[in-house]
Structures are given as structure tokens and as C-alpha cells.
Structure 1
Amino acid sequence: MRIALLEDELEQAQNIQNLLAERSYQCDSFETGQAFLSAVTHRSYDLLILDWQIPDMSGIDVLRNVRTQMDWPIPVVFLTQRDSEEDVVKALDAGADDYLAKPARPAELLARIGALARRSQPDSQKATLQYGPFQIDIRSRTIHLHEEELVLTDKDFDLTLFLFQNQGRLLTREMLLERVWGMTNDINTRTVDTHMSRLRRRLGIKPENGFRIKTIYQRGYRLEAMQNAPENTHTDADSIPSAG
């Protein structure tokens, strides 16, 4: 799990990063709200931890920006010295999912983060995932459409799994390259465009099968479930070209 931390006190930020690393969580720390917002808009994070009092804006303002700009309900935890009931209510009303006062007990912080992660990704512990006519077997790394196995490359599988687990969420090209290809610097985003075009055909992503991959101009892609999609039927016309 990848976490973005907003904390302007470097020693505290380092302590939190070290704690999260013990659970194999990757944590990037930011000292200002602007740097934090820029990062979460262009990179892929699974959970956010916010301080309230930071140099350039309040944590509440950062949270409101996150909820306005991001198109999926990423879990957000406030970790701050402000502990009045009024502050807790204000943060929760603004869209926070949890609230802890500093200094947080390490075991409790990890437990809260783990609970939010499980709640936001309920399918993450399952071996087989079903999305309409698509069945994804994580252990065997196979995908079936209408019970027929598709012929896909390893990268096809990784990209498909990431798309379905994040359906409805805008995924920038940078996010996809980072999470699927493991690349972060000096990368050509045309790699994603080429692969996505080919994947549409290989998977049979079309209204008849209940999903579409929408291209968001100059930003990335979003897998969307189709509303009022035709009833799923399997005919010869539905056969998917192999990866060969």
C-alpha cells in the first residue's frame, strides 16, 4: 500500500515513515499543502495522512481540495495535535475517514490504517474476482470472459487487474506506469497509450460486456461500468484476439 503523508515537522515525518515501513507500507512525506496536492493528483496513492497545521494552508483546505479534485473516495486520516470535539467534527464533516490526536500510539495508528485499507479495497484478499462477465483468478493469473480464458501477457494481466480494482477512478498515465510497469522517471507515456489500445481489443472491453475504458484527454484512463448495458451473451462475435 502506498501512503502520502502531509507533515511539516521532519522528525515526526521520519518517525511515521519508519513505523509504516515496518508493515511494508511505502510512504512519501510532504511539508506543504501545495506539494502534497501536486503529488496526489499525479501519482497513485491508496491512503492519505494529513496534519492540520502546515505552513501554506490548513489541513482542512487540503482535504477539501482532495475531495474536489479526486474522483474516487481515497481514505484520509487526520493526525494532528488539535483534539477538541469541534475540530474532530469539522474534519469528519469535510470528508476525513478517521481522526487521531498526536502523539498517536503506534499500534493504534497501524490498526486504523489497516482497517481503512481493508474497507476501501474489500476484494484485495480474494483469490478470484468477478466483474460482470469477467473473472480474474489472482493465483493462476488468468482472466476469463464468459467462462472462456483469454490469452494475455503478464503485463496485460497486471494492467487489467489494476483497472478493475480501481474502476471508476481516473488513472493517469504516470500512475499506470508507476504501479504496473514500476517506472517513475524518464518514461515515455506512449507506452501506456499503445498498451491500452491493444488491451481493449484483447479483453473485449465494450458495452455488450458491461464496461468501457474511457480516455480522459491529456490525463489518463478510467474503466467505467456501463449503465443499462445489454444482457451479456456469448456468441462467435465475442471472441477475443489472442496475444500472439
Structure 2
Amino acid sequence: MSPTTNAGLSNPGSISSLALVFGDDRNRGALRDALDSQGFASAAFDSVQNLWDSLSSGRRYDALIACADKAWSPRRWVNLRSMVKLPILVVVSRDALELASTFDDESINGERIEFATAPVDGAELAMRLRLLHSRRNGTNAPPVEEDLIWGSFHFKRQARVVLVDGVEVRLQPREFEVALILFQNLGKVIGRAEIEAQLFDRPASPGSRVLDVHVTRVRRKLSLGPEKGVRLLTIYGVGYRLVALNPPSEARSG
């Protein structure tokens, strides 16, 4: 789905451009109308993948509004927080208020996150977004995730991009996560179930080849072979193992 964008007015020095994700067209439409009334620009997406594609094309947003409804799952939250590093306003629908308990304290404390209950008017949205802006510029901002560097591979976690020999290689969000998991576990056998649990909202169907497709693309895009000092092994019936060949150094954060 191509994002639709409202022109909106600018709020200099504050949050002014927003991305909306999840929920249905009706819920997102109501939120965008409320944002319009307060002069915010917005774009709507029905999945993290579509949002990621927009970010990868160069679009920039000051904050994210996530619609939490009956279709919400804890894994969806984990995927969102791992792929998109933006302040988040979670708008919980009235028929799904029990979802509030799924946001554990550990994932919220110190994070740039606010909550509201739908329906929410423009004035309250503006107030919540001002709070997000204050947190973003305050002392409670979350620590910056350190990059992971090994040989010619440089994983920039905040930007969710990887450089190979200094050149950015474009990976899709789940491809990035697969590659990062492999390098974080260099030399170890990583089970399929363990990787899939970090990638998907629900267990993969028996016989699913989705993970294999992601791994194949990562292998090709990052040229994971002897020329890069690594070899990616498929452990049939178990998972994968990324092996260092004459490693230049241990994987490190930087």
C-alpha cells in the first residue's frame, strides 16, 4: 500500500511530521483528521514494512503513532521497537484496553513513549506529542544502541543499515535482523525457531521457507563468503551458523 500524505503545517522546533501504523483505515483516518486540525503533517501505513520502505526512500518523521487494537500482539510491539527508532504515541482502542498490560514496565521506563485511548481529539493528541517532544530532548532519552563492527561489516543499529567496506547495503527490515542475529552469534549454531521467534508475530507454519528466503538474500547481498572472511553454514534440520575464517578481530560494539 502506498502511503498517503497530508501537507499539514510545520511546528518548528517540535514534532511536526508523523507516521501512523497499524489499525484499520477508519481508525487511521480519524487520527489523521485530528492531526490535521492541529497543523501536523502525517502519512499512514498498514505495516512496519511499508513504513520502513518510506524511511529507506529518504522520508523522515519526527514521531510515530501506533494504533493498538484487537489485532495487536506483543511480538508486533517488539518488531516495531526493533525496526523503528522514533518516539511513539500508542493509541489503544476502547475495545482493547486490556492491551495496556502487555507493555511491560521494562520496555517503557526511560523510553520515549506516550499512551492515549481512542477516540482522541486533536487537542489531546497535540498535548501527548508535546510530552513526547519534551522526553526526546530531556534527560530520560533511552541510551543509543551501539553499532556492531566485524571486519568489513558495520551494523548501524540506530539507522538499521549495514555498511560493507564502507558502502551501504540496503536490506529489508527482517533481512537486517537476520544478519544482525548471525553476527551477534558468530561461531554459534542458531536454531531456526530461535531466529523465527525474533522475526515474526506468530510461529512459522510447518515447512515454511520464509526464513530460508531471508537468509539467502542476506548471504547474497552481504557476500557472506571467504572473500569477506566468513562462511554461512546451513545446519540442516537445525538452523544456521556464521563462521569466521581467519577473523581480523572479534565482533565488537562501537
TM-score (norm 1): 0.42
Q: TM-score, with normalisation over the residues of structure 2?
A: 0.41
Higher relative contact order (CA closer than 8 Å, sequence separation 6+): 2
